[in-house]
Chains A and B, each alone.
Chain A
């Protein structure tokens, strides 16, 4: 069965490219443009992996990560963010994310990391 990935990201270009790339890799991709939609989707279906930005409308990325890690501790989370600041990255890992990818990102590298994270579970 195809693994299902939830992408939480509000930049249309990044969304389209991730969708394109990940679908090519054989995953099923669902996109949420903001945190609220993401939370709703999480309640409706099961996901195998979550790929999220940190700067989002309505609810900040950190809040979403906290939410996921308490409600769905088994779903791995990969952060995709423009932040290169150490404290932000450390904080994300403290919250329990499984990987942190900084923008600009390499789509090939991202696809490898997604594969590796899914293999770990």
Chain B
């Protein structure tokens, strides 16, 4: 009796906490929905009547270096490069960084594009693994292509090598297996052209390419993936990009530009020291560091965000791969937050300190952990036979209905903005996915995030050992 009353007290306190937390989440949701819809509307209004043709003709447009790291990509690398070479932009180079692949990627590129070694001269802006060779094609049609062959050092190290070896002041970092729209560079560079302040980066929306009809590196028809796990990720991407990042961009609090597709001012990247290869979340960490440095030096700057569907990528349809990916994302988030914990709640960093970093801490890092603890607690109550079915049903309903509402709103945003899934069938499938996702998919990613935290804690103990095994082992796709 004594025990059960104490537990009742705890339950009461927890319920109130639950409510407060819920209210915070709801306000976060309203905040992002509101700002994002304004941002999308303004973007559409600004851009629906003008086009980029004027830009294409100018010889005074800044040149862009497209950096694409490749690790064991033999199967597709040639096709991917071919489609990169047909991007619409007056002046750009494609720099493929072969990060010590163990397959025949390099030879395949050399043969197809008739590459010949160039002199090994390059800058040392950022320290990297050794460069083994720089190749360039003598064929005119491929004159924009350059291939860097280096010793394996991971994605961050490969990108840093690309920064050292490329020619232009703007760099566009992409995953080599991404599918880019032809006007992707023209669209992504717009923030750099429009702002008279220093623009340090601009990012785009990532779209899910699974099951789309793709030919020669172009999306011919957008289709909904056949598997539930991929469809659930589509909803996730809608929520993260159309609602989340659009809203963050509106209030100038964007912290993450996806590593699969982002443009950066090279000088600022170099000033910041390039990609950090000690974290698995190098893309997030770089932007946070760049923004932090700008803020600390009081340089007015801006970060752009382009909502057009420009970059398509394959998402994991295999549960194991998904678990690994989310595990890595969770570790990347925590590592970045830890490295920049000084910014948390620090008014000196403005929106970043007071809104963005706390948001990342509570929603991206701690939310899955709280949730997990909540489930454990619930399991305990269940074992003790203290669960009141009616109470449980109501709590469950509020969480569930909120999750579904969140996803449905995201679908609405997609319909309102770009409407890529044209068939009515797709729309209903997505809605059905929204109903099932909180029950069947969400637990998987939550567990991956929790596991990521556990791995990180364990990893920290053996930190010394890890550094001795060398950087090569950290390479992940």
How far apart are the CA atoms of A60 and B140 in the complex, in Å? 12
Residue among A60, A82, A83, A84 making CB contact with B86, cutoff 8 Å: A60
Residue interface mask A30-61, B partner, CB < 8 A = 1: 00000010000000000000000001111110
A91 touches B57 (CB 8 A): no
Q: Which of B83, B85, B88, B141 has the most CB of A within 10 A?
A: B141
0/1 string, B57-70, CB within 8 A of A gives 1? 10100000000000
Q: Tell me whether A57 and B86 are in contact (CB under 8 A).
A: yes
Distance from A58 Cβ to chain B, minimum over Cβ atoms (Å): 4
Is B85 a contact partner of A82 (Cβ separation < 8 A)? no
Task: Choose among B53, B59, B88 the residue with the greatest number of A CB atoms under 10 Å from its CB.
Answer: B59
CB of A58 within 8 A of CB of B218, answer yes
How distant is the Cα of A61 from the Cα of B422 in the complex, in angstroms?
31
The reply to whether A58 and B216 form a contact with Cβ atoms under 8 Å apart is yes
Report yes or no: A60 in contact with B85, Cβ–Cβ below 8 A: yes
**Chain A interface size range:** 10 to 19
Which residues does chain B contribute within 8 Å of A63, judged by CB atoms?
141
User: Chain B residues with Cβ under 8 A from A62's Cβ?
Assistant: 140-141
Asked if B90 lies at the interface with its beta carbon under 8 angstroms from chain A, I say yes
CB contacts (< 8 Å) of A108 on chain B: these are none
Max chain A CB contacts within 10 Å: which of B86, B88, B182?
Answer: B86
Q: Please determine whether A82 and B216 come into contact, CB atoms closer than 8 angstroms.
A: no
Residues of B contacting A66 with CB < 8 Å? 140-141
The reply on B471 being an interface residue by CB < 8 A is no
- Whether the pair B90, A85 counts as a contact (CB closer than 8 A) is yes
Please measure, in the bound complex, the distance between the C-alpha atom of A74 and the C-alpha atom of B59, giving whole angstroms: 33
- Mask: chain B, 63-107; 1 = CB below 8 Å from A; 0 = not: 000000000000000000011011010100000000000000000
Given contacts A57-B86, A60-B85, A62-B141, contact A82 B182 (CB under 8 A): no
Asked whether A95 is an interface residue with its Cβ less than 8 Å from the other chain, the reply is yes
Shortest B197–chain A CB gap in Å is 29
Question: Which residues of B from 217 to 251 have beta carbons under 8 Å from A?
Answer: 217-218
CA distance in complex: A56, B216 (Å):
12
Residues of chain A with a CB closer than 8 A to B141's CB: 60, 62-63, 66
Q: Which residues of B contact A82 (CB under 8 A)?
A: 53, 56-57
Q: Which residue of B lies closest to A63 (CB)?
A: B141
Residues of A within 8 A of B320 (CB): none
A57 touches B182 (CB 8 A): yes
Docked CA distance A102–B358 (Å): 54
Give the residues in chain B near A60, CB-CB below 8 Å: 85-86, 141
Do the beta carbons of A85 and B140 come within 8 Å of each other? no
Task: Decide if B215 is an interface residue (CB 8 Å cutoff).
Answer: yes
Instruction: Tell me the complex Cα distance, A23–B55, Å.
Output: 32
> Within 8 Å CB of B218, what residues of A?
57-58
Beta-carbon contact of A59 and B86 below 8 Å? yes
Contact indicator B59/A85 (Cβ below 8 Å): yes
Docked complex Cα distance between A51 and B4 (Å)? 85
**Least distance between A34 CB and chain B CB atoms (Å):** 9
Residues of A with C-beta under 8 A to B53: 82
Q: Which of A56, A63, A91, A95 has its CB near the most chain B CB atoms (within 10 A)?
A: A63
Shortest Cβ distance from residue B2 to the other chain A in the assembled complex, whole angstroms: 75
Roughly how many angstroms separate A81 CA and B59 CA in the complex, as a whole number?
Answer: 15
Q: How far in angstroms is the closest Cβ of chain A from B218?
A: 6
Give A85 to B82 CA distance when docked, in angstroms: 23
State in angstroms the CA–CA spacing of A59 and B53 once bound together: 20
Chain A residues with CB under 8 Å of B56's CB are: 55, 82
A36 near B57 (CB under 8 angstroms)?
no
CB distance from B141 to the nearest CB of A (A): 5
Q: Mark A75-119, 1 if CB is under 8 A from B, else 0.
A: 000000011110000010011000000000000000000000000
Residue in contact with A91 in the complex, picked from B59, B140, B182, CB distance below 8 Å: B140
Q: Which residue of B lies closest to A67 (CB)?
A: B141
Distance in angstroms from A33 CB to nearest chain B CB is 12
Distance between Cα atoms of A84 and B53 in the complex (Å): 12
**Shortest Cβ distance from B15 into chain A, in angstroms?**
58
Residues B57 and A55 in contact, CB atoms below 8 Å apart? no
In the assembled complex, which residues on chain A have CB atoms less than 8 Å from the CB atom of B57? 82-85
Complex CA–CA separation, A94 to B140 (angstroms): 10
Q: Which residues of A contact B (CB under 8 A)?
A: 36, 55-60, 62-63, 66, 82-85, 91, 94-95
19 contacts between A and B (CB under 8 A): A55-B88, A55-B182, A56-B86, A57-B216, A57-B218, A58-B215, A58-B216, A59-B86, A60-B85, A60-B86, A60-B141, A62-B141, A63-B141, A66-B141, A82-B53, A82-B56, A82-B57, A85-B59, A85-B90
Q: Which chain B residues have a beta carbon within 8 Å of chain A's beta carbons?
A: 53, 56-57, 59, 82-83, 85-86, 88, 90, 140-141, 182, 215-218
**A-B residue pairs, 10 tightest by C-beta:** A58-B216, A62-B141, A63-B141, A60-B86, A85-B59, A55-B88, A82-B57, A84-B57, A57-B218, A66-B141
Given A36-B216, A55-B88, A58-B86, 10 more pairs with CB closer than 8 A: A57-B86, A58-B83, A58-B216, A58-B218, A59-B216, A60-B141, A66-B141, A82-B57, A84-B57, A94-B140
